[in-house]
Amino acid sequence: MPKKVRIPTPLRKLTNDEEVIEVNADTVGGAIAELQTKFPGIQERLLDENGGVRRFVNVYVNEEDIRFLQNQQTVLKDGDEISIIPAIAGG
């Protein structure tokens, strides 16, 4: 079973309005690279010049923030769901 990436509204222009993209990559970093080959331009929205995830982008694997896991090295298993969410807050 492939893994799924949920694309946030602001990025759907780049993915032909598709909300969920299937990937086969084994890590979060690999998934981002795979998105880039499918939808050129998406990578620079997610990663800064140093290749790190942009500070206002939160990435979750099965609802766990990757910063609590292994960041882009986080390993993905079949059926995992990756969500990309712009950071927000307030309360």
Partner 1 sequence: MDTNNGFMKALKCRECGREYPLAATHVCEFDFGPLEVVYDYDRIKASLTVPVIRSRPQSMWRYRELLPVAGDPTVGQQVGFTPLVKADRLAKRLGIRELWVKNDTVNYPTLSFKDRVVSVALSRARELGFTTVACASTGNLANSVAANAASAGLKAYVFIPSDLEQGKVVNSLVYGANVIGIRGHYDEVNRLCAEIAGKYGWAFVNVNMRPYYAEGSKSMGFEIMEQLGWKVPQHTVVCMASGSLLTKIHKSYQEFAKLGLVPETKYKIHGAQATGCSPITTAQKAGMDFFKPVKPNTIAKSLAIGTPADGFYALKVMKETGGSGEDVTDDEVREGIKLLAETEGIFAETAGGVTVGVAKKLIASGHIPPDASAVLCITGNGLKTLDAVVGHVGQTREIKPSLREFEALLERETRLVTA
First to last CA, the chain: 38
Nearer to partner 1, 31 or 66 (CB): 66
Bridge partners, residue 86, by sequence: 57
CB 74 within 8 A of CB 68: no
Residue whose entry in the numeric block shows the structure tokens 């982008």: 57
Binding site for partner 1 (CB under 8 A): 6, 8-10, 13, 45, 48, 54-58, 60, 63, 65, 67-68, 83, 85-91
Complex with partner 1: residue 7 or 31, whichever CB lies closer: 7
Closest distance between partner 1 and the C-beta of residue 38, in Å?
Answer: 19
